[in-house]
Amino acid sequence: MTRHFLNLADAGGDAMAAMLGDAIDRKAARVGFPKGRADNDVPLAGHTLGMIFEKNSTRTRASFEMAIKQLGGDSMFMASGQMQLGRGESIADTARVLSRYVDAIMIRTDDHAKIEELAKHASVPVINGLTDLSHPCQIVADLLTLIEHGHALPGLEIAWLGDGNNVLNSLVEAAGLMKFNIRIGVPQGYDSDAGFIEVARANGANITVTRDAAEAAAGADVVVTDTWVSMGQDHAHNKIAAMMPYQVDERLMALAKPTATFLHCLPAHRGEEATDAVLDGPQSVIWDEAENRLHAQKSILLWCFGLL
């Protein structure tokens, strides 16, 4: 069976734990290496990752390119607007053709149905580099970052503030798989996907939704936010106004535990979802989080190839 990574549930909790452990080990094993040097075991030598981008990216593109390189393989970048995909070739035909050239396909797209269609017709692993629905690779990196900063995942109390978006959906999915809890503080009308919440609750996670930002943040071990306006959405004035009470500033951070960690997947819109004082403050681990996209993705790739 081809191993696709469209959502975290495709891997499941045990595989995610294996990925996190592998990422920690691989990261430690290459301390002091130049970034372009391959890991000693070059587990993906001879393998090429094709990467299709229908939306902009800094971290996902750069970290996947370096991830496959450090595993001994190569990457191929394809901007969808320069592909025949951009002028109407079907996703199914694109999947069939690319499967003859590359060993795995990563895609960043809008409608999640597109990645499902790609995976259905590809004979190589397909990896979700973000859709409007979810961003599973980001959450593997986020969990790695929390573990590195001393947090045990089971029972962890995570506060999410702001928009109910793709990153939150994957965080909710992870809560069910890794047994942590989330207090979601989002304004009315901007809730995250009800299906992910239902599954996470059925898996034993305590997921609460509140309109009160202070209630979400109170006593939390981790505070997380993301842009209020995701790619493809309008920077509507009424949305910004609705989000303002959920801005993560020093006052809101002070309601969390004194040891609380602050995460943001980036890019940040400084002064909107979080203030400079929080983003650059002592509780912020956003640069480690960004670095960990690289380490997490190496383990995701190894899982897709059946090596984890």
**Residues binding ligand NVA (CB under 6 A):** 130, 165-167, 226-227, 230-231, 265
Catalytic residue among 47, 183, 264, 293: 293
For ligand NVA, the closer of residues 81 and 155 by Cβ is: 81
**Interaction between residue 138 and ligand CP (CB under 6 A):** yes
Collapse the DSSP code of 182 into the 3-class scheme (helix H, G, I; strand E, B; otherwise coil) and give the result: strand
Residue from 3, 43, 60, 205 touching ligand CP (CB under 6 A): that is 60
Question: Strand 181-185 and strand 157-161: pairing?
Answer: parallel
* One-letter identity of residue 234: D
In the block, which residue shows the tokens 């004979």? 123
Task: Tell me which of ligand NVA, ligand CP, none is bound by residue 166, counting a contact when its beta carbon lies within the kind-specific cut-off of 5 to 8 angstroms.
Answer: ligand NVA
Catalytic residue among 108, 151, 183, 295: 108
Alpha helices in the chain (DSSP H): 13-29, 59-70, 91-98, 112-121, 136-148, 166-178, 194-202, 213-217, 237-243, 250-253, 276-279, 286-304
**Interaction between residue 57 and ligand CP (CB under 6 A):** yes
How far apart are the C-alpha atoms of 168 and 126, rounded to whole Å? 21
For ligand CP, the closer of residues 99 and 292 by Cβ is: 292
> Is 244:263 a contact under the CB 8 Å cutoff?
no
Could you tell me which stretch among 7-15, 90-98, 234-242, 262-270 binds ligand CP (CB under 6 A)? 262-270
Nearest to 303 by CA among 43, 7, 11, 9: 11
Catalytic residue among 265, 283, 297, 304: 265
**Shortest Cβ 54–ligand NVA spacing (Å):** 12
**Shortest Cβ 290–ligand NVA spacing (Å):** 11
Task: Mark whether 226 is an active-site residue.
Answer: yes
**Shortest Cβ 273–ligand CP spacing (Å):** 13
For ligand NVA, the closer of residues 167 and 243 by Cβ is: 167
Collapse the DSSP code of 137 into the 3-class scheme (helix H, G, I; strand E, B; otherwise coil) and give the result: helix
Task: Mark whether 151 is an active-site residue.
Answer: no
- Count CB-CB contacts under 10 A for residue 275: 18
Catalytic residue among 226, 247, 264, 295: 226
Could you tell me which stretch among 13-21, 90-98, 264-272, 280-288 binds ligand CP (CB under 6 A)? 264-272
- For the four alpha carbons of 131, 136, 137 and 139, in that order, the dihedral sign comes to positive
Task: Mark whether 135 is an active-site residue.
Answer: yes
Active-site residue set: 108, 135, 138, 226, 265, 293
